[in-house]
Chain A
């Protein structure tokens, strides 16, 4: 974003940049920065809170009144991600012949479909569509069970895209099932990686891929870097 601000300003456009990592804005020195210490992925701070979002915009646009720059201002409110998993029931075990994550994913399908109908769009679909999620989890389970990763038939051929699709399928379904409709930053991520069989499987397969000697880019980006 800071690079684009430099490019746009040089082209004759006035820019205001929100930064989420302060030292990047300080070192890159784009013309006008409002640094916001909000959960990553939420540059305007709070979902479904128009008043707060307007406050961010008001502070950002006020930088346009400055006579010279670069200028970096800081939003006075710090918002910390909620380090508590979303309150959301996972489907009970239904078919004991299936791997737990496969069984679980099947159980979430109706909730996922409701989410898709409500929003009209889904982040699932880069490596697999929703129909392919249970099979994808079966493939990952096979790798954990010892199938060499190059022989496993990884759907879409890209583990990061596949992991993102699986996570999106779960998180979109979870928002239909959650007890609270407006979770805080990282609550759905915490729920996925800490409460679901699929999330735990992704963390496990990441270790299995590393143990099999797969290159780091194959496994590292399947989950946030701080999860193990």
Chain B
């Protein structure tokens, strides 16, 4: 008897066939040497600070996360992923401890003072992300002197 596909395999098969936003060009920004670069994390895990504003179902906004704040809530609405992993070890989604270690080793220049979370459940056209909240977040990252953004999904 054929082995039943895992839940992840079923999700990948379905999401992998859905329409995605199309970009006619791929921008390309040359980074400074990694050992001099300031690095930030941006995640779609819908993280927000304890007591802060949670995410609504189709939220297209983002939350700023202080570098030293580890009291974060994962407010993603989807039931279709391993929701417990972040609580076991936040680094598996939001690897700030690992980035701090890379700074100590001299592999990256510095870690940003703020990081950012979006919710992965936007409307299909992602117009707000493209035209409003995405550019606004980029401006905040640049104001903090960030060179490199490491993006993680859930």
Q: A residues near B, CB below 8 A?
A: 1-24, 27-31, 39-48, 50, 53-54, 57, 60-61, 64, 68-70, 80-81, 83, 115, 119-123, 125-126, 160-161, 163-164, 167-168, 171-172, 174-175, 182-183, 185-186, 188-189, 221-227
**CB–CB B151/A14 < 8 A:** no
Q: In chain B between 59 and 115, which residues have their CB closer than 8 angstroms to a CB of chain A?
A: 71-75, 77-89, 91-93, 95, 97-99, 101-102, 107-108
Q: Which of B15, B54, B89, B98 has the most CB of A within 10 A?
A: B89
20 pairs, A vs B, C-beta closer than 8 Å: A8-B137, A8-B149, A11-B139, A14-B37, A18-B151, A21-B12, A39-B82, A41-B82, A42-B85, A42-B92, A43-B92, A44-B92, A44-B95, A48-B89, A57-B102, A64-B34, A175-B84, A188-B83, A189-B83, A226-B80
Complex Cα gap A17–B72 (Å) = 22
| A5 contact from B6, B14, B151, Cβ within 8 A | B151
Q: Are A43 and B93 within 8 A (Cβ)?
A: yes
Question: Given A81-B7, A221-B78, are A11 and B85 also a contact pair (CB < 8 Å)?
Answer: no
Q: What CA separation (Å) do A175 and B30 show in the bound complex?
A: 43
Which B1-28 residues sit within 8 Å CB-CB of chain A? 6-8, 10-12, 14-17, 20-23, 26-28
Chain A residue contacts of B147, Cβ below 8 A: 13-14
Shortest CB distance B131–A (Å) = 9
- A146 CA to B95 CA in the complex, in Å? 47
By a CB distance below 8 angstroms, the chain A residues around B8 are 39-40, 80-81, 185-186
Interface core residue of A9, A44, A50 (most chain B CB under 10 Å): A44
- Complex Cα gap A85–B13 (Å): 23
| Cα distance A24–B13 in the bound complex, in angstroms | 11
**Residue in contact with B73 in the complex, picked from A123, A167, A185, A225, CB distance below 8 Å:** A123
Contact B16 A23 (CB under 8 A): yes
When chains A and B are docked, how far (Å) is the Cα of A115 from the Cα of B154?
22
- CB pair A225–B82 under 8 Å, yes or no, is no
- CB-based contact A61/B149 at 8 Å: no
A31 lies within 8 A of B91 (CB): no
Give the docked Cα–Cα distance between A174 and B15 (Å): 30
Would you call A47 and B92 a contact (CB within 8 A)? yes
Q: Which residues of B contact A221 (CB under 8 A)?
A: 77-79
Contact B84 A189, beta carbon cutoff 8 Å? yes
The CA-CA distance from A193 to B6 in the complex, in Å, is 15
Q: Is the CB of B29 within 8 A of A43?
A: no
